[in-house]
């Protein structure tokens, strides 16, 4: 067991002393000024001695048979860089659940991730350790959307993968409590998003994967980040970022211009306090690409049979 300590403020070190001198538990404190899940995961991946990697967030669970079944699958399909397994969403009363997180469909997986409709979650994947290292592991400058980033890079780099059609073997909790992801609209995260978006554009274009659908979905990603800037009361930064979409020729002139009207509308009526003006929202919904407004709740409607 590798303990990667991100300068925690709890009693981690004291608690570990209770297990001393258990040699199977290795404590490692993160070095340097940069921290976060992405940094500590990279340290763990480098220090791990096994061939495979499965990543979990704090609200994830694995079925008792998960490790055994995933190892069996990926060793039987040795040409794979990673494999994807079904995941279930559950509430506080585990194991009461009725909703799949990820199921394959006929949409392109790159488009799904760009559109915040993840084709799979971070817990859904088993990686070959060398494969995740080959794409650079986690980008330590990406402060949020790390799962979207690493999965998109795997797809852009043409890593070989396969869905496993089996019973769900992992579970992610859906709740309304404070989560790490709520910080994604803070200014320092928004600057991180801008860097990520530019990198995704360059990588997609270089790999000839910037299809028409991918272009519109990437523009939708930009659209939502611009909306975050406006929620931070900085429409200027939102509009300036939106200029990148036109510079990269991701959408047509009408959608680009009409979106600017939406940003001004959003700036004026962020809290929906003006009923008459609020009706304009439906005009924008109908006139702009649906990819601009689709969010990652769409997959929750898929019920367990």
**74 falls within a domain:** no
CB 86 within 8 A of CB 100: yes
- Provide φ and ψ at 127, rounded to 5°: -105, 150
**75 falls within a domain:** no
**207 falls within a domain:** yes
For residue range 197-243, list pLDDT tens digits in order.
999 999 999 999 999 999 999 999 999 999 999 999 999 999 999 99
Joined together, the tokens standing for residue 244 give 């990148």
Res. 101: pLDDT tops 90? no
End-to-end CA, the chain: 37
**25 falls within a domain:** no
Domain count, the chain: 1
**132 falls within a domain:** no
**282 falls within a domain:** yes
CB 98 within 8 A of CB 111: no
Strands 97-100 and 170-173, by their bridges, are unpaired
**284 falls within a domain:** yes
Q: What is the mean pLDDT of the chain?
A: 88
Closest CA to 197 of 229, 221, 226: 221
More confident residue, 11 or 245: 245
* CA–CA separation, 172 and 57 (whole Å): 9
More confident residue, 103 or 5: 5
CB 116 within 8 A of CB 147: no
* pLDDT at 114 (0 to 100): 95
CB 289 within 8 A of CB 221: no
Q: In terms of residue numbers, what domain contains 200?
A: 185-293
């Amino acid at each position: 067991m590798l303990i990667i300590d991100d300068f925690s403020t709890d009693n981690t070190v004291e608690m570990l002393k209770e297990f001393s001198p258990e040699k199977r538990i290795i404590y490692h404190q993160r070095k340097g000024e940069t921290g976060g899940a992405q940094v500590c995961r990279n340290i763990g991946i480098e220090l791990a001695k096994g061939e495979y990697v499965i990543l979990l967030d704090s609200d994830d669970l694995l079925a008792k048979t998960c490790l055994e079944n995933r190892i069996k699958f990926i060793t039987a399909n040795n040409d794979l860089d990673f494999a994807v397994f079904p995941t279930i969403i559950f509430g506080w009363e585990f194991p009461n659940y009725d909703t799949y997180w990820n199921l394959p469909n006929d949409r392109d997986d790159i488009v799904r991730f760009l559109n915040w409709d993840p084709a799979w979650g971070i817990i859904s994947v088993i990686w070959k350790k060398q494969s995740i290292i080959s794409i650079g592991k986690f980008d330590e400058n990406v402060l949020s959307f790390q799962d979207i980033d690493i999965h998109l890079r795997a797809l852009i780099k043409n890593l070989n993968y396969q869905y496993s059609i089996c019973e769900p073997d992992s579970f992610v909790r859906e709740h309304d409590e404070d989560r790490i992801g709520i910080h994604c609209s803070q200014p320092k995260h928004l600057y991180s998003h801008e860097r990520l978006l530019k990198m995704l554009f360059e990588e997609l274009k270089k790999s000839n994967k910037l299809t028409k659908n991918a272009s519109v979905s990437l523009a939708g990603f930009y659209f939502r980040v611009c909306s975050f800037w406006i929620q931070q009361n900085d429409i200027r930064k939102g509009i300036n970022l939106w200029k990148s979409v036109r510079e990269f020729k991701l959408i047509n002139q009408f959608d680009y211009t009409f979106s600017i009207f939406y940003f001004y509308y959003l700036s004026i009526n962020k809290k929906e306090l003006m009923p008459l003006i609020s009706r304009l929202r439906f005009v924008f919904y109908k006139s702009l690409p649906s990819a601009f407004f689709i969010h990652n709740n769409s997959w929750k409607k898929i019920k367990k049979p």
